[in-house]
A and B are shown apart, each in its own frame.
Chain A
Amino acid sequence: MNPMRSPLLGRGLFRQSLLVRLSTMFALGGVLVATILLIGNRVLDDAKLRLEDTVIRQVQPLAATHRLQALSNELRALELELPSVHDVFALPQYAERMRSGVEGMTQELTPFLAALAATRPDDARRLEKHWLHYREDVEEIIRLAAAMDIAAVESVTSTRTRSAHAAISTTLRELVSTTEHAATDAYRQARDEQQQQQRFFLTLSLGGFLFLAAVLVVFARSLSRRLRALRDAASRLAAGEDREPIAISGDDEISDLGRAFNTMQDMVVSRERSLRTAQEELEDRVTQRTRALAMANARLWMLSQAVEQNPIGVLIANADRRVEYANAAYVRVTGRPADTLLASSLPKPADTDQSRAVDAEFRAALLAGGDWDGERRSRRPDGSEYWEHLRLVTMRNEHGAPAHVLLMREDISERRSQEEKVAYQAYYDSLTALPNRTLALDRLQQATGRASRDGTMCAVMFVDLDNFKQINDTLGHVAGDELLCQAATRLRSVIRAEDTVARLGGDEFLIILGITQASAADAAASKVIQAFTPPFQIEGREFIASPSIGVSLYPNDGDEPAVLLRNADLAMYEAKDAGRNTFRFFNQQIHDDSVARMEMERELRGALERGELEVHFQPLVAARDGRLVGAEALLRWTHPELGRVPPDRFIPIAEQSGLIVSIGNWVLDQACSHAAQWREACGGEFVMAVNVSPRQFAHAGLVDTIRACVERYAIPRNQLEIEVTEGLLIRNPGEVREAMLALEAAGVTVALDDFGTGYSSLSYLRAFPFHTIKIDRSFIRDLSEDAEDCALVVAAIRMARALGLRVVAEGVETEVQSRFLARQESDVLQGYLFGPPIPAQDFAADWVQNPARRAFSS
């Protein structure tokens, strides 16, 4: 049970409680105020009603009088206006208005006269009489107007109606004046009465309120004294001072409050003790928690600094996707302040189309509350573009519900740049910036696929620069590179943007065109040829570098890119054969030739094993005396079905297929073997000349093979001569020179074959350790007819002499040639004049074992 209520429950309901006393007092006060208000209201209402009644009683007649005055004036104005009407058709209009005016006046006047008769009967009679006169006159005017007698109308209005209307106006003015005086008196009297009643009401109200105030003061003083005692006791309790129970007096709520206060004071003292104990325990726990909290704060500070200092932009949003935090790096990466909403945090994309899918994934992940990451090219507000890696992570609370969303953004522009650079280098030629072979083949694959889908065609052009090697050799690699760059530019300039120009390597370019008919490729190839017509400006000099172009068409010339490329290559060679600076379409003949070459290659591949190859030897004789000095080993192939295959047909195939390496080794071995056999018979000096192709030179073991052969057959120094062409020197001059020096060290000499047909640079002769030059048969053949050839041959011999080189003249077929060459001090002669290449046994029989012939061949 509540101890505060127990004293109340034990007492009667009608004791002199505070509630009862207050209620009684307020009830009495209310009754007093209500009484005063009722009396006042009644008094004021009476005064107001009397005043209103006075005003109304006086104002109504005044208003009616004024209305009558206005109506009569209006009527008078109409009748005065009537004579001035100058259109008879307007007369009825005026008559009608006057008739209406008379009716209005009558209606207004009738009740007015009735009211006036009650108060002022004389005035009423006088006014009525005047009105009747005036109305008769007006009605006569109306009749005259209807009869269109304007003159009569004017007569009436200027005499009779004038006086009648004046009498009405005068009477009305008098009535107004009289009414105004009466109204003023009545109003003044009513106002005095009202003021008197107001004074009475104010006095009554003042007395009532003074009485009420006195009662309230007495009651309040009594109440205040007892409450002050309680307040002082409570203050002492609060201050912890004297806690003696307070004295209780009276029998009302305040005495109940005093008792309750004493009880409460006892309980407070008891609880204070308990609280003090609890406080001490609590302080210990607070100390412990504070320490733990400090540690947690330190850890949180560390983590927040980690996030704050992180170079990756971090943005944290709540479950409603409202952004709560973004670190400095976020602003640095995006170039703008963090957005309020996570959904709008994606900046403007640098490329809308490419970003569409990534943006969609981002938003989908955002909606689904899942994790996601992706890369996107974005644009900062300042316009700069950058690659960024976005990672969206949903952080969940202990219940697994999404609590926050973490968005990390990293500027990966540098990484992407490196990747793009690597990709570029993988697919583009660094010199010309054109697609390289890899990309070209990919483009070709795409082009054929597209043509297949669209039912169109695709042209592949294999372009080779005819004079590239000459320019490269003359001016060096830098100039060669410049030529390639200019050539690439020209090719690019004549090809449509959607087509491809690629550099396959060296001076080989590839053009891929999407076409609808073959004639388009024809036109394109012509444009390429045309583009190369102007000379190239390289290092201040002009050079002509014409293209040879081979064209293959998809699908006519092959389905596969490799086939198309090969066929274009074949066609290019056809263009070369056709004199260069032209183009050739891959055709059946090329195809057939290619097939034939492949067939030949296939046959050649087993020819050595089948014994179809044979080494023939052509004698080399001294120019001075015709003595046999050696032989040139020449490869011959006799096929069971094809018969004797010319060397110029199968040797290039062997060269291209690489068979030349094994065959060449075999030839070398055969040549050395026979040289060893024939040397003795020839007096110990027999030079065996063996042709070595560039392909053999490219093979790493050539020098070793030759050295081994020399050793195997004990070939004396300078009796084995390796013949090479200028083409070998061009490709790998450094390595070739090394090899030649190695051969020289091994006692093997080197001859420059076909001298005069190539570039025949003097620098070659100086740079490479040649021992012999072999003047090409083409110069020798025309010696008798062509003075120019004579001069060339003489110059070549003189030059070789000057350099200390031996001179061998090939293709000597007549005595005249032989004598001329001998006279010019050529060292060795070779040709059909002395003997054709023949098999080894024949050579042995005809030459080695024939002393006469050996001593003087012709």
Chain B
Amino acid sequence: MPSRRHLAPLLAATLCAAAALLPAGASAGEQAYRAVAAARKLVASGQVPTGTRIVLGFKQGNINAFLGADLALQKEWENLTGIVLDAHIVPQQPIRETLRSTPGFDLAVARNHEYPDLLADGLITEIGPLMAEYGYRFDDNGTDGYMRPDLQSRVGDHTVAIPADGDIVLMYLRRDLMEDGQEQAAFHKAYGRPLAPPRTWTEYEDLVRFFHRPSQGLYGAAEERDEEGAWMYWMPRFLSSAAPLAELFDDQMRPRLNTPGALAATENYVAMVKYAPQGITDPGRNYNFTLPLFAQGKAFTTMNTIAGARMFNGEGSAVRGKFVAVPLPGWRVDNRLVRQSTLIYGNNLVIPKTARNPRLAFLYAMWATDPDVSTRLIGITGAFTDPYRWNHVRDARIRKIYTPEALETFSGEWAAAQPAGTGLQGDAQYLAALDRNLTAAARGEIGAQEAMSRTSAEWEQITDRLGRARQILQWQAFRRQFGGRP
């Protein structure tokens, strides 16, 4: 076994050999090799002094994901380049607030739906020129390319983020209960169909209702109903309410929330509250509340990213070996099943405008998201980041962590994935209005219809405030890019 001291040169030699042997394009190791070579060149040319610090702003769970267990990857990068990584933990809040209040980060994590506002507010740097300068492109090839980089890296024509976290919504069910013979018989008797993963949101409600047994310590659903991020669990219901997919606005940016589909989606969203534990709509009851419930065997279903599989398959999980990840349900529209999913959360890498070393930050990000390096990062225990390259889902360590079945579902769901949020400048405002009204409905303060009506009215005001003409242009561009969605 090579010692740790010899590991860095050994890795460098391996990267060099890989770069020489592999063809041009996005290939394992080459991306990292080029990043290291470019960083060394900057140091050798004197443009960057040795020992320069890259200031990283990561959330609590990102440290292992980007620096490795025991900071092994950090040491490796520093040995290879002489560039020091200085990681700071930033608050669990929208990154926009962090970047506004704390300048000086060279690299930070941002969620997919935050990009338009970050770019419009001038808080992040467009990385397209750096990509071109160093010959990088976000390849989506099936071997080791990125998963849907168009959804995770761009705002219109601008490339603004480096994908580093494949957060797509999945549904988790208790397989042990689904496969239980008695349960199957009872369900069939009650609903006249076999007990199976739901194909529609209506079937989903039936399942949740069937397994909602609070007296036995089992809740039908542990779906988040926290105000912050309410849109994440409403959006898949809404998007699949029309064929081929429902749109949030019409051509003139008039909200399309008073449609039957939108109403059905909202009602289904609200209906889950009664199958959830008490206090599910209280502030802060996010995945920190729902996921432990499912992991402790206290809920029949939950929805989250593929990270849920990692958690439920962990050593302390009560549902280890007893859960299944299934595709999200849809709606039957014109006798056909329409299913849509969306990106949520996401811990992708952006370079703040105030970065002192944007070039080095970019090179480090490209090194860390290299097919090989990122596989090692995701494959360690205690990491936060989920697979975002196609080679990740084939890696043995990662399959063991996430379960092969969950990764199969995860891979398939990318076909139905839609961009996160509205894709518009003012996304935070639009989503905040939606979140607020959805939560009010979930708490029973207003009805579903009222929630949509209020949201429509607020969205109109937001659009007028931001400039309808400009918003229309953005919306048209967004629709052109993503084929008539959202």
Q: Do A and B make up one complex?
A: yes
Report yes or no: B296 in contact with A95, Cβ–Cβ below 8 A.
Answer: no
Residue in A85, A86, A144 whose beta carbon sits within 8 Å of that of B316 in the complex: A144
Report yes or no: A93 in contact with B384, Cβ–Cβ below 8 A.
Answer: yes
A96 to chain B, nearest CB (A): 4
A480 and B292 CA atoms in complex are apart in Å by: 128
Task: Report B-chain residues with C-beta under 8 Å of the C-beta of A90.
Answer: 60-61, 384
Within 8 A of A (CB), among B273-303: 287-288, 291-292, 295-296
Task: Report A-chain residues with C-beta under 8 Å of the C-beta of B291.
Answer: 88, 148
A89 and B165 CA atoms in complex are apart in Å by: 13
Task: Report B-chain residues with C-beta under 8 Å of the C-beta of A86.
Answer: 60, 92, 288
B230 proximal to A (CB < 8 A)? no
A205 to chain B, nearest CB (A): 49
A269 and B301 CA atoms in complex are apart in Å by: 133
Report yes or no: A93 in contact with B63, Cβ–Cβ below 8 A.
Answer: yes
A264 proximal to B (CB < 8 A)? no
Q: How large is the interface on A (under 10, 10 to 19, 20 to 34, 35 or more residues)?
A: 20 to 34
Report yes or no: A96 in contact with B318, Cβ–Cβ below 8 A.
Answer: no
Report yes or no: B296 in contact with A148, Cβ–Cβ below 8 A.
Answer: yes
B311 proximal to A (CB < 8 A)? yes
Which A residue sits closest to B287, measured CB to CB? A88
User: Interface code B368-403, partner A: CB below 8 Å = 1, 0 otherwise?
Assistant: 000000000000011110000000000000000000
Within 8 A of B (CB), among A125-180: 142-149
A97 and B317 CA atoms in complex are apart in Å by: 18
Within 8 A of B (CB), among A76-134: 85-90, 92-97, 100
Report yes or no: B383 in contact with A93, Cβ–Cβ below 8 A.
Answer: yes
A144 and B316 CA atoms in complex are apart in Å by: 7
Given A148-B291, A148-B292, A148-B296, CB of A93 within 8 Å of CB of B61? yes
B59 proximal to A (CB < 8 A)? yes
Report yes or no: A89 in contact with B307, Cβ–Cβ below 8 A.
Answer: yes
Report yes or no: A100 in contact with B295, Cβ–Cβ below 8 A.
Answer: no
A260 to chain B, nearest CB (A): 75
Report yes or no: A149 in contact with B382, Cβ–Cβ below 8 A.
Answer: no
Which A residue sits closest to B64, measured CB to CB? A93
B104 proximal to A (CB < 8 A)? no
Task: Report B-chain residues with C-beta under 8 Å of the C-beta of A87.
Answer: 59-61, 92, 288
B69 proximal to A (CB < 8 A)? yes
Task: Report B-chain residues with C-beta under 8 Å of the C-beta of A96.
Answer: 64, 69, 381-382
Task: Report B-chain residues with C-beta under 8 Å of the C-beta of A146.
Answer: 314-317
A97 and B287 CA atoms in complex are apart in Å by: 23
Residue in B69, B292, B383 whose beta carbon sits within 8 Å of that of A88 in the complex: B292
Which A residue sits closest to B305, measured CB to CB? A89
A100 and B381 CA atoms in complex are apart in Å by: 12
A418 and B92 CA atoms in complex are apart in Å by: 101
Which B residue sits closest to A100, measured CB to CB? B70
Report yes or no: B61 in contact with A89, Cβ–Cβ below 8 A.
Answer: yes
Which B residue sits closest to A143, measured CB to CB? B316
Task: Report A-chain residues with C-beta under 8 Å of the C-beta of B63.
Answer: 93
Task: Report A-chain residues with C-beta under 8 Å of the C-beta of B316.
Answer: 95, 142-148
Residue in A92, A142, A143, A149 whose beta carbon sits within 8 Å of that of B292 in the complex: A149
Task: Report A-chain residues with C-beta under 8 Å of the C-beta of B288.
Answer: 86-88
A656 and B297 CA atoms in complex are apart in Å by: 146
Report yes or no: B311 in contact with A89, Cβ–Cβ below 8 A.
Answer: yes
Report yes or no: B317 in contact with A92, Cβ–Cβ below 8 A.
Answer: no
Which B residue sits closest to A94, measured CB to CB? B382
A149 and B317 CA atoms in complex are apart in Å by: 10
Task: Report A-chain residues with C-beta under 8 Å of the C-beta of B381.
Answer: 92, 96
B222 to chain A, nearest CB (A): 12
Within 8 A of A (CB), among B56-83: 59-61, 63-64, 69-70
Task: Report A-chain residues with C-beta under 8 Å of the C-beta of B70.
Answer: 100
Report yes or no: B60 in contact with A85, Cβ–Cβ below 8 A.
Answer: yes
Task: Report B-chain residues with C-beta under 8 Å of the C-beta of A148.
Answer: 291-292, 295-296, 311, 316
Given A96-B69, A146-B314, A147-B316, CB of A89 within 8 Å of CB of B296? no
Task: Report B-chain residues with C-beta under 8 Å of the C-beta of A147.
Answer: 292, 295-296, 316-318
Task: Report B-chain residues with C-beta under 8 Å of the C-beta of A85.
Answer: 60
Report yes or no: A89 in contact with B317, Cβ–Cβ below 8 A.
Answer: no
Which B residue sits closest to A88, measured CB to CB? B288
B377 to chain A, nearest CB (A): 13
A97 and B67 CA atoms in complex are apart in Å by: 14
Given A147-B295, A148-B295, A148-B296, CB of A92 within 8 Å of CB of B318? no
Given A146-B316, A147-B316, CB of A88 within 8 Å of CB of B382? no
B325 to chain A, nearest CB (A): 17
A90 and B316 CA atoms in complex are apart in Å by: 14
> Looking at B287, B318, B382, which has the most chain A CB atoms within 10 Å of its CB?
B382
B385 to chain A, nearest CB (A): 10
Which A residue sits closest to B314, measured CB to CB? A146
A295 to chain B, nearest CB (A): 74
A92 and B378 CA atoms in complex are apart in Å by: 13
Which A residue sits closest to B315, measured CB to CB? A146
Report yes or no: A88 in contact with B384, Cβ–Cβ below 8 A.
Answer: no
B212 to chain A, nearest CB (A): 22
Task: Report A-chain residues with C-beta under 8 Å of the C-beta of B287.
Answer: 88
Task: Report A-chain residues with C-beta under 8 Å of the C-beta of B64.
Answer: 93, 96
A724 and B410 CA atoms in complex are apart in Å by: 138
A507 and B475 CA atoms in complex are apart in Å by: 98
A383 to chain B, nearest CB (A): 46
B307 to chain A, nearest CB (A): 6
B74 to chain A, nearest CB (A): 14
Task: Report B-chain residues with C-beta under 8 Å of the C-beta of A149.
Answer: 292, 296
Task: Report B-chain residues with C-beta under 8 Å of the C-beta of A143.
Answer: 315-316
Task: Report A-chain residues with C-beta under 8 Å of the C-beta of B317.
Answer: 146-147
A89 and B61 CA atoms in complex are apart in Å by: 6
Given A87-B92, A146-B314, A148-B292, CB of A92 within 8 Å of CB of B60? no
A29 and B287 CA atoms in complex are apart in Å by: 92
Report yes or no: B296 in contact with A92, Cβ–Cβ below 8 A.
Answer: no
A88 and B292 CA atoms in complex are apart in Å by: 8
A142 to chain B, nearest CB (A): 8
A97 and B318 CA atoms in complex are apart in Å by: 22
Which A residue sits closest to B63, measured CB to CB? A93
Which B residue sits closest to A97, measured CB to CB? B382
Which A residue sits closest to B284, measured CB to CB? A86
B98 to chain A, nearest CB (A): 15
Within 8 A of B (CB), among A409-426: none
Residue in B92, B295, B382 whose beta carbon sits within 8 Å of that of A93 in the complex: B382
Report yes or no: B59 in contact with A92, Cβ–Cβ below 8 A.
Answer: no
Task: Report B-chain residues with C-beta under 8 Å of the C-beta of A100.
Answer: 70
Task: Report B-chain residues with C-beta under 8 Å of the C-beta of A93.
Answer: 61, 63-64, 382-384
A84 to chain B, nearest CB (A): 10
A85 and B63 CA atoms in complex are apart in Å by: 13
A87 and B109 CA atoms in complex are apart in Å by: 16
A90 and B58 CA atoms in complex are apart in Å by: 12
A89 and B306 CA atoms in complex are apart in Å by: 12
A148 and B316 CA atoms in complex are apart in Å by: 8
Which A residue sits closest to B288, measured CB to CB? A88
B296 to chain A, nearest CB (A): 6
A740 to chain B, nearest CB (A): 105
User: Interface code B316-340, partner A: CB below 8 Å = 1, 0 otherwise?
Assistant: 1110000000000000000000000
**Apart from A87-B92, A93-B64, A94-B382, what 12 extra A-B contacts exist at CB < 8 Å?**
A88-B311, A89-B307, A95-B382, A96-B64, A96-B382, A143-B315, A144-B316, A145-B316, A146-B314, A146-B317, A148-B296, A149-B292
Interface CB pairs A-B, < 8 A, 29: A86-B92, A86-B288, A87-B92, A87-B288, A89-B307, A89-B311, A89-B384, A90-B60, A92-B381, A92-B383, A93-B383, A95-B316, A95-B382, A96-B69, A96-B382, A100-B70, A146-B315, A146-B316, A146-B317, A147-B292, A147-B295, A147-B296, A147-B317, A147-B318, A148-B291, A148-B292, A148-B295, A148-B316, A149-B296
Using a CB–CB cutoff of 8 Å, the interface residues on chain B facing chain A are: 59-61, 63-64, 69-70, 92, 287-288, 291-292, 295-296, 307, 311, 314-318, 381-384
10 smallest beta-carbon distances between A and B, as pairs: A146-B316, A148-B292, A93-B382, A147-B316, A90-B61, A96-B382, A89-B61, A92-B382, A90-B60, A89-B384
